[in-house]
Amino acid sequence: MKFGAHVSASGGLWNAPEAAAALGCECFQFFTRSPQGGTPAPITAETISRFKDACARFGFSEWYVHAPYFINLASAEERIRVGSIRVLREELARATKLGVKYLMTHLGSAKDVGKEAGVALVVSGITKILEGYNGSCQFLIEVSAGAGAVIGDRFEEIAEIVTAVEANGHAIGICFDTQHAFASGYDLRTPEALDETLAAFDRTVGLRRLKMSHCNDSKVELGARKDRHEHIGAGAIGLEGFRLLVNHPKLADVNLIIETPFEGQLKDLENLKALRSLKKS
């Protein structure tokens, strides 16, 4: 298990590895374009060279890309769905050029179509994104916090999507998020609770599909259904929950990326590294 953070690529994508190294990251996540929209800078041969050289210089072997926030594969508006499909396909191509291992995305909200129709639209959208794709970056869907009609908060719903996409001939993985899962009602705070959450995930989605995790404490209580990240140990999950998580044998190969406010990320990573050495007595 490696620890990292979502870092800025301001001034050029090649700056992300240096920003990650400054925090003591062992892996890292970044955006290749503005998360709010707009035309992205092209991934040129120079960009690729400078980015990969920086990764090698700072000793990184894994890095990940988060898709923009405006993605909504379950929108009632065809224009938004088509745009989301186009951007995600572009991001897979951009990420492949940069040697990115995983691209993860939020799926969007079905508030105008209902959950059943929303899931069907998501399955159709992901299938279109992956048709003819032969890049090296793997597509991941992220567990959501369950606010409103957001798709992907329940393991059963995620399993339905994954199973349908795989039936269409495309393999996808999952990005867990500790805060999102906690807000969706999955407890992580005791050995029994964590074991049950992982067992539930395995029964429905399958742990073999769990590729990485966002690692965030929660400003809200269990089941509050709000996306509110907090620094490690300062929220409702607490340090004990993260001690259990980083030392759980079923998660040994799952890397963790913090997405907490920047001013406390250095301390968050230090806390995770300290907790990693604290095995159950």
User: For the chain, first and last CA: distance in Å?
Assistant: 20
Measured CA to CA in angstroms, residue 18 lies from 28, 77, 122, 155, 257 at distances of: 10, 40, 36, 36, 16
**pLDDT at residue number 146:** 85
Query: Total structural domains in the chain?
Result: 1
64-102 burial code (b ≥16 CB/10 A, e <16): bbbbbeebbbbbbeeebbebbbebbbbbbebbbbbbbbb
d(CA 37, CA 166): 29
281 lies in a domain? no
**pLDDT at residue number 279:** 67
**pLDDT at residue number 37:** 87
How big is the chain by its Cα radius of gyration, in Å?
18
pTM flag (> 0.85) = yes
265 in Cβ contact with 216 (< 8 Å): no
Give the structural domain span for 170: 3-276
Please list the pLDDT of the chain residue by residue as tens digits (281 residues).
Answer: 999 999 999 999 999 999 999 999 999 999 999 999 889 999 999 999 999 999 999 999 999 999 999 999 999 999 999 999 999 999 999 999 999 999 999 999 999 999 999 999 999 999 999 999 999 999 999 999 988 899 999 999 999 999 999 999 999 999 999 999 999 999 999 999 999 999 999 999 999 999 999 999 999 999 999 999 999 999 999 999 999 999 999 999 999 999 999 999 999 999 999 998 776 54
268 lies in a domain? yes
d(CA 245, CA 210): 14
31 in Cβ contact with 9 (< 8 Å): yes
261 lies in a domain? yes
Of 258, 182, 255, nearest to 218 by C-alpha is 182
**pLDDT at residue number 280:** 54
229-257 burial code (b ≥16 CB/10 A, e <16): bbbbbbbbbbbebbbbbbbbeebeebbbb
25 in Cβ contact with 38 (< 8 Å): no
Q: What is the CATH number of the domain that holds 13?
A: 3.20.20.150
The C-alpha angle 48, 260, 204, rounded to 5 degrees, equals 85
DSSP category for residue 209: G
